[in-house]
């Protein structure tokens, strides 16, 4: 695996960073949280610029798509960038790709991210998957403070069969997408925490100067980096069963530790609505439970590694 980005990849990421810096971020996340919606505007912007189709591009490929997913999460984008740029291209023909698409797995109950806002739903049913248009399902929004719009879904139509084994393929890419989203979201939470620690003076020095706290930040950083690189490697290799589930396991572990550390190290301010930490940290709660959470990722890892 190339551990450095190609000039093309770097150029794509730089441009995408600029776009996300303008169109996403904490203020936009708050605006959307109040309105209860998702960021159609951002998704359209990313789509028109071609960022959501980089997985299909021979030179950029899924590795660039995972980098964009990570980047979008880090900028608190409220749009299914991972589902659209990593999962959908793996199971839906390029010319039929919907712009706003999300995923649900019939094996797990519970609400679905972006279901009420999507124009299509990839439904995983065992080894296979079907694509449902918005007319073929109804949604009931669920009240949540996690920063993502969640809704329960009731399927009504039959959907379009995405082919034998498409469920397995989609599920593997979904794990990669979740890992990338966790890596980006956790990174945003940790960055803000480090800023806080550098500015917050107690006992005559910034919290960031206390070695015991430095170690905890560093350990969290390592876990996030680990999840990030696992997601990248899985994407690079085309989301094989073992590495995609390894990435998800590592990411869910990282999410749990990050959640604890960023809130503890931020102190009481992190518990308030006015502070931006919750915009990223609470999203980790959804991400770590999505797609069956740790139990399902672990089973998939065991099956992928040892065929159990």
Partner 1 sequence: MFDDDADLQAFRLRYREFLHEFAPHGWRAHATTTDATLDIQRSWLRTLAAHGWAAPHWPAEYGGMDATLAEQIVMQQENSRAGAPAVTMFGMALVHAAATLLEFGSEEQRRRHLPHILQGDEIWCQGFSEPGAGSDLAALSTRAVRDGDRYIVNGQKIWSSGADRADRCLLLCRTDPDVPKHQGITFLLLDLRSPGIEIRPIVSLLGSGEFCEVFMTDVVVPVTDRVGEENEGWHICQTTLSTERGPYLLPVVNKLRDECAAMWTMAEAIGTDHAAQVAAGFHAEVAILSELIDRTLLQAAFGKSGNESSILKVYYSELSQRLTTAALEMAGLDAQLAWTEAFDLNSDTFDGSWGLSHYWSWSWTIAGGSNEIQRNIIGERVLGLPREPRPEARRS
Q: State yes or no: residue 6 binds partner 1 (CB under 8 A).
A: no
Q: Could you give the CA distance from residue 245 to residue 294 in angstroms, rounded to a whole number?
A: 10
Q: State yes or no: residue 176 binds partner 1 (CB under 8 A).
A: no
Q: State yes or no: residue 215 binds partner 1 (CB under 8 A).
A: no
Could you say which of 56, 144, 214, 236 contacts partner 1 (CB under 8 A)? 144
Q: State yes or no: residue 154 binds partner 1 (CB under 8 A).
A: no
Q: Is 233 within 8 Å of 1 (Cβ atoms)?
A: yes
Q: Which is nearer to partner 1, 64 or 139 (CB)?
A: 139
Scanning the structure block, which residue is given the tokens 């959804």? 286
Q: State yes or no: residue 133 binds partner 1 (CB under 8 A).
A: no
Q: How far is the CB of 150 from partner 1 (least distance, A)?
A: 8
Q: State yes or no: residue 276 binds partner 1 (CB under 8 A).
A: no
Q: State yes or no: residue 293 binds partner 1 (CB under 8 A).
A: yes
Q: Which two tokens stand for residue 44?
A: 């359209």
Q: State yes or no: residue 264 binds partner 1 (CB under 8 A).
A: yes
Beta strands in 68-194 (DSSP E): 101-105, 112-113, 120-125, 128-133, 137-142, 150-155, 160-161
Residue 200's region, left for phi above 0, alpha for psi from -120 to 50, else beta, is beta
Binding part of the chain for partner 1, among 14-22, 78-86, 103-111, 185-193 by CB under 8 A, reads: 103-111
Could you say which of 64, 117, 280, 286 contacts partner 1 (CB under 8 A)? 286
Q: Which is nearer to partner 1, 12 or 182 (CB)?
A: 182
């Amino acid at each position: 695996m190339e551990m450095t980005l190609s000039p093309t990849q770097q150029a794509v990421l730089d441009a995408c960073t600029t776009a996300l810096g303008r169109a996403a971020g904490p203020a936009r996340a708050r605006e959307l949280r109040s309105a209860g919606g998702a960021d159609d505007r951002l998704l359209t912007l990313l789509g028109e610029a071609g960022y959501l189709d980089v997985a299909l591009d021979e030179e950029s490929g899924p590795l660039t798509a995972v980098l964009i997913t990570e980047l979008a999460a880090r900028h608190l984008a409220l749009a299914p960038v991972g589902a659209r740029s990593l999962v959908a291209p793996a199971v839906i023909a390029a010319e039929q790709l919907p712009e706003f698409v999300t995923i649900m797995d019939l094996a797990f109950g519970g609400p679905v991210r972006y279901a009420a806002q999507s124009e299509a739903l990839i439904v995983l049913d065992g080894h296979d998957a079907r694509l449902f248009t918005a007319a073929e399902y109804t949604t009931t929004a669920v009240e949540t403070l996690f920063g993502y719009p969640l809704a329960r879904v009731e399927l009504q139509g039959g959907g379009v069969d995405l082919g034998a084994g498409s469920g397995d393929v989609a599920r593997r890419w979904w794990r990669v997408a979740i890992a990338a989203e966790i890596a980006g979201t956790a990174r945003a939470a940790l960055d803000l925490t480090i800023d806080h620690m550098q500015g917050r003076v107690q006992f005559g020095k910034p919290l960031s100067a206390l070695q015991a706290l430095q170690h905890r930040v560093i350990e969290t950083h390592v876990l996030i980096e680990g999840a990030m690189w696992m997601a990248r490697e899985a994407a690079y290799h085309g989301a094989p069963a073992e590495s995609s589930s390894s990435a998800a396991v590592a990411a869910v572990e990282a999410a749990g530790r990050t959640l604890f550390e960023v809130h503890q190290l931020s102190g009481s301010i992190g518990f308030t609505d006015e502070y931006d930490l919750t915009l990223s940290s609470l999203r980790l709660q959804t991400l770590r439970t999505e797609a069956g959470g740790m139990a399902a990722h672990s089973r998939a890892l065991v099956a992928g590694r040892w065929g159990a």
